[in-house]
């Protein structure tokens, strides 16, 4: 196993950081790593907003509710960004141009571009001995999330990546057996995934029971059921459309 | 610079592979790396379909048009997948449950989960000395792409990742200056990004002129203008909705 595979396999989300800021060199290395990820047709339909200002972190913390949004070494926000293209002086503002920008296809492109860059940043940070945690919780109030960062039309802030010096190293969380996730040559019917999901339910129950902190009795299926029984972030769809993205 | 940063910085897309298949060990390492990426609330709203069957590759090649879809060492397809959750026996099929599954929020979750996993796979493959290329071109006909893989409701095949033994190592393509992509504490107004885009236009023109193969005279802005003047993949939006995703 080489160092890279080892780093990847060793991933766990870190939710307690010291407040020691990353050095400029560390930030540079992480952001340049993000920047080297593949981008669909070299469009680079994403932006990264690095948050070092404690006031901005505190505002974002009020949205997310997680302590690691305000206490970390650095915070990166990843956005789908078609604004840069929309604003170019030299493009012809045809009907087709507008239709493309506002399509679901281009919103997918921006979302994937942002996520590929983010995962490079995550792996790079972990390779430097730092911890990371993704923050979808910033979408708890996507309008406020957007306003804090002053993102214009055709930009959707998607998620954060908190980076820092870990104050604790939790266990690696077990994943769904690979046999349910990885299919060969065609999609495996659900009936054939079922067995592995049941196996995972037992694994997660055992894992939660044996955990040192925050132990509980819950299967994965029970967690999913609970999570999906309350309409959550239903304003994200209309918000994205208000940004003139994902409209058709 | 550690090995991981070096691998990430050294990335270039490979579009010519030998037909030597990856070993089972290589596939296992790459797919397990994908599987270790973060997943929103541990929902794992994605699936990976590994394509080794030449007939399936040929069908996908007919959609994408790129030779590296049929000639590679292995081909991975990444899907946003809410089907697994939708099918669970033990969940309560409430109105809220359905609303959540069909929301833009959950489609974003599935797309990001898939992309994070993919980028881990890409970095892992490159760390093993293999080359990779992302394939958004499979969305040229998303209905056909889906049908080849027999993906059910609540699953959207998003893109491919061709992996293999490189038959050529192209130059690293210059990226937009980081100053346009990376913002601090709030979104940089376009007016302040403009200078870097002009700089990049010149860089890309020089790069294309100096290239050994396929050299041309074109700025990034000209490429973008050309790309967006024809409505492209406008069926992706309706297709995703037909899968009962991204509906509200």
Q: What is the mean pLDDT of chain A?
A: 96
Return the pLDDT at B210.
87
Q: Check B181 against A51: CB less than 8 A apart.
A: no
Q: Which helix (H) or strand (E) holds B145?
A: helix B142-149
Residue A166: pLDDT band (50, 70, 90) is very high
For residue range A177-208, what is the model confidence (pLDDT) as tens digits?
999 999 999 999 999 999 999 999 999 999 99
Task: Find the mean pLDDT for residues B142-153.
Answer: 98
Q: What is the 3-state secondary structure (H, E, C) of chain A?
A: CCHHHHHHHCCCCCCCECCCCCCHHHHHHHHHHHHCCCCHHHCCCEEEEEECCHHHHHHHHHHHCCHHHHCCCEEEEEEEECHHHHHCCCCCCCHHHHHHHCCHHHHHHHHHHHHHHHHHHHHHHHHCCCEEEEEHHHHHHHHHHHHHHCCCCCEEEEEEEEEECECCCCCCCCCCCHHHHEEECCCCCHHHHHHHHHHHHHHHHHHHHHCCCCCCCCCHHHHHHHHCCCCCCCCHHHHHHHCCCCCC
- Residue ranges and CATH numbers for the domains of chain B are 3-172 (3.40.109.10), 178-224 (no CATH)
Query: Does position A151 have pLDDT exceeding 90, yes or no?
Result: yes
Q: Check B176 against A234: CB less than 8 A apart.
A: no
Task: Find the mean pLDDT for residues B20-37.
Answer: 98
Sign of the C-alpha dihedral, residues B71, B23, B50, A39?
Answer: negative
Return the pLDDT at B216.
80
Within the 18-77 window of chain A, which residues sit less than 8 Å (CB to CB) from chain B?
29, 31-33, 35-44, 46-53, 56
Return the pLDDT at B178.
97
For residue range B106-143, what is the model confidence (pLDDT) as tens digits?
999 999 999 999 999 999 999 999 999 999 999 999 99
Q: Check B186 against A149: CB less than 8 A apart.
A: yes
Inform me whether the C-beta atom of residue B84 falls under 8 Å from chain A C-beta atoms.
yes
Residue of A13, A19, A129 lying closest to B5 (CA atoms): A129
Q: Check B56 against A186: CB less than 8 A apart.
A: yes
Q: Check B224 against A46: CB less than 8 A apart.
A: no
For residue range A104-138, what is the model confidence (pLDDT) as tens digits?
999 999 999 999 999 999 999 999 999 999 999 99
Alpha-carbon distance A11 to nearest alpha carbon in chain B (angstroms): 7
Return the pLDDT at B214.
72
Query: Does position B213 have pLDDT exceeding 90, yes or no?
Result: no
Please report residues of B whose CB lies closer than 8 A to that of A43. Answer: 224, 227
Please report residues of B whose CB lies closer than 8 A to that of A132. Answer: 38
Q: Check B225 against A155: CB less than 8 A apart.
A: no
Return the pLDDT at B146.
98
The interaxial angle of helices B24-35 and B104-127, nearest 10 deg, is 140
The residues facing B161 across adjacent strands are B76, B134
Please report residues of A whose CB lies closer than 8 A to that of B123. Answer: 4, 8, 119-120, 123
Alpha-carbon distance B65 to nearest alpha carbon in chain A (angstroms): 15
Query: Does position B215 have pLDDT exceeding 80, yes or no?
Result: no
For residue range A43-99, what is the model confidence (pLDDT) as tens digits?
999 999 999 999 999 999 999 999 999 999 999 999 999 999 999 999 999 999 999
Residues composing chain A: 248
Residue A214: pLDDT band (50, 70, 90) is confident
Q: pLDDT over 90 for what percent of chain B?
A: 95
Task: Count how many pairs of residues, chain A against chain B, have C-beta atoms within 8 Å.
Answer: 333
Return the pLDDT at A1.
82
**Across the interface, which of A4, A109, A111 has its CB nearest the CB of B108?**
A111
Inform me whether the C-beta atom of residue A186 falls under 8 Å from chain B C-beta atoms.
yes
Task: Find the mean pLDDT for residues B232-242.
Answer: 98
């Amino acid at each position: 196993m080489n160092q890279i595979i080892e780093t990847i396999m060793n991933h766990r989300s870190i939710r307690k950081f010291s407040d020691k800021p990353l050095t400029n060199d560390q930030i540079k290395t992480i952001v340049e790593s993000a920047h080297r990820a593949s981008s669909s047709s070299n469009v680079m339909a994403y932006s990264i907003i690095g948050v070092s200002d404690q006031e901005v972190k505190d505002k974002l913390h009020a949205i997310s509710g997680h302590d690691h949004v305000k206490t970390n070494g650095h915070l990166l926000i990843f956005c789908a960004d078609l604004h840069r293209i929309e604003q170019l002086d030299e493009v012809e503002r045809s009907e087709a141009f507008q239709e493309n920008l506002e399509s679901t296809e281009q919103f997918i492109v921006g979302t994937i571009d942002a996520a590929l860059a983010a995962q490079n940043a995550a792996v790079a940070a972990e390779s430097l001995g730092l911890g990371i945690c993704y923050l979808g919780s910033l979408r708890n109030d996507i309008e406020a999330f957007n306003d804090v960062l002053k993102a214009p039309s055709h930009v959707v802030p998607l998620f954060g990546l908190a980076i820092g010096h870990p104050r604790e190293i939790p266990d690696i969380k077990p994943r769904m057996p690979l046999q349910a996730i990885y299919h060969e040559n065609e999609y495996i019917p659900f009936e054939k995934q079922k067995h592995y999901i049941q196996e995972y339910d037992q694994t997660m129950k055992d894992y939660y029971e044996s955990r040192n902190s925050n132990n509980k009795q819950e299967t994965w299926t029970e967690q999913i059921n609970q999570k999906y029984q309350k309409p959550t972030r239903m304003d994200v769809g209309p918000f994205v459309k208000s940004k003139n993205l994902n409209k058709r």
